[in-house]
Amino acid sequence: MQFIKPDININFTGKIKIAALVSLSLIVISIGSLVVQNGPKYGVDFAGGTLIQVSFEAQTKIKEIKSGLNTIGLVKSSVQRFGEKSENEYLIRTNKPITTSEDFTLDLGKALKKSTGINTVIQRVEMVGPQVGKDLREKALFAMFFSLLFITIYISGRFELKWILSGVMAAALIFAVYALSIFDVSIPILITAALAVTIVLFWFLELKYAMGAIVALVHDVTITVGVFSIFDKEFTLPIIAALLTIIGYSLNDTIIVFDRIRENLKKHHKRPLNTNINKSINETLSRTILTSLTSLGVVVALFIFGGGIIHDFAFAMIIGVLIGTYSSIFVASPILLAWQRK
C-alpha cells in the first residue's frame, strides 16, 4: 500500500540542524524537569508504601476521605480521583507500608463511611516495602541498559558484521557495571555513565550503525521520561514495560531505514551519502507513517477507553510512538552523516 507517492523527494538531511536544535531543546527540558523535581515521581512499585483503590456510591469530597484516613493513622496520605468522574473512585497513596488484613480493610471501610456518610467499597490494597521498591528500581534500570547493549550487538553484527567486537565490548561493560554496583555506587549515575562510555566507544571503534541506533533510543527514552516528569505522572512497573516497548518500536523503524540505506549504498555507491540517506528515508516514508498511524490508533483507543489502570501506559506509548518515528528519521540516520564528516 502506497500512502505517499513513490517519487517523493523531501530533503530530510537538509533539515538536520533544525532537527538537532529541536531534539536538544526537548532533552534539555526533560533533564531540567527531572533535576527540578529531584528525579522521576516513583509510584508505590518503586518508592514503597501502600496503594488503596476505593469507590463510593455517590460523590464525595477529598477532604472528607482524608479525614477518615486520619482516624486510622494514615495521616500523610495523598488522595486523587481515579477513572471517570461518574465512577466516584479514588486512589489513596501512603509511604507507610501496611500489613494488609481483613481487619484493616474493615476498619478502613468503616472510617471512610463515617467521614463521608457514603457506603464505601475497597477495590484493592497493594503494599510494597521500601527495600523491595529499591530493588525493583535498580532491576528496571538494568533491564533497559542491558536491552540497549544487546540491541547494539545485533545492529553491529547485522549491518557491519562486527559481532565479536560488539559482543566483547558489551560483555566488558556489563561486567564493569555489575562490579561497580557491588560497591554501592548509585545505579542511575552508574547506568548514565555506562551509556556515555558506550557511545564514546562506538565512535572510536567505528560502530556507526550501532551508534546511530543507541543514540536514537536514548533520545526517545529520555524525552518520554521527561514528558512524564513535566506532567507529574508516576513511574510504575507498567511504565517500564512501556519504555521497553518503545525501545523495540523505535528500533524496528530505525532498522527499516538503515536496511534501505545499506541497499542504496551498494546500488549507488558513487552518489553522496546524504543523497542516499534522503532517498532511503523517502522510500520508506510511506511504511513509516502507516505503521505509526496504525500504532497510534491502537494506543489512543487504549488511552481513551482503556480505563485508569492502563491510562499512563497508553500515554507513554503515544509519546514513544511519536518520538520514535521522529528519531528514526532525524536522529539515527544523521549519525551516519556525522561519521562521514569525521
Q: What is the pLDDT of residues 206-237, one digit of tens each?
A: 888 888 899 999 999 999 999 999 998 888 88
Angle between helices 102-116 and 62-70 (to 10 degrees): 130
pTM of the model: 0.83
- 78, 28 in Cβ contact below 8 A? no
* Confidence band, pLDDT 50/70/90 cuts, at residue 97: low
Instruction: Tell me the backbone φ, ψ of residue 231, rounded to 5 degrees.
Output: -85, 5
Tell me, which fold does domain 49-128 have in CATH?
Answer: Alpha-Beta Plaits (3.30.70)
Is the model's pLDDT at 239 over the cut of 80? yes
Helix residue ranges, H only, the chain: 16-36, 44-47, 62-70, 102-116, 130-160, 163-182, 187-205, 208-230, 237-267, 273-305, 308-327, 333-341
Tell which residue, 83, 73, 75, 82, has the closest CA to residue 52: 82
Question: What pLDDT is stored for residue 341 in this prediction?
Answer: 63
The DSSP result for 195-264, as a single string, is HHHHHHHHHHHT-HHHHHHHHHHHHHHHHHHHHHHHTTPEE-HHHHHHHHHHHHHHHHHHHHHHHHHHHH
Instruction: Tell me which range, 121-125, 187-191, 310-314, is most confidently predicted by mean pLDDT.
Output: 310-314
In this predicted structure, the answer to whether residue 260 has a pLDDT above a threshold of 60 is yes
Number of neighbouring beta carbons within 10 Å of residue 295 = 19
The predicted-structure confidence for 286-321, as pLDDT tens digits, reads as follows 888 888 899 999 999 999 887 777 888 999 999 999
Give me the amino acid identity at 300: V
Q: Output phi, psi for 60, to 5 deg.
A: -140, 175
Q: How far apart are CA 21 and CA 25, in angstroms?
A: 6
DSSP for residue 6: T
In the DSSP assignment, the letter for residue 95 is S
Q: Does 1 have pLDDT greater than 60?
A: no
What's the mean pLDDT in 142-153? 86
Q: Is the pLDDT of residue 268 over 60?
A: yes
Dihedral angle sign, alpha carbons of residues 238, 243, 247, 252: positive
Check if CATH label 1.10.12.10 holds for domain 13-43+132-341.
Answer: no
CA distance 57 to 121: 8
For the chain, give every domain's residue range: 13-43+132-341, 49-128
Look at residue 91 and give its three-state secondary structure. strand
Instruction: Give pLDDT, residue 274.
Output: 85
CA distances from 32 to 123, 163, 193 (A): 37, 37, 18
Q: What is the number of other CB atoms lying within 10 angstroms of the CB of residue 22?
A: 13
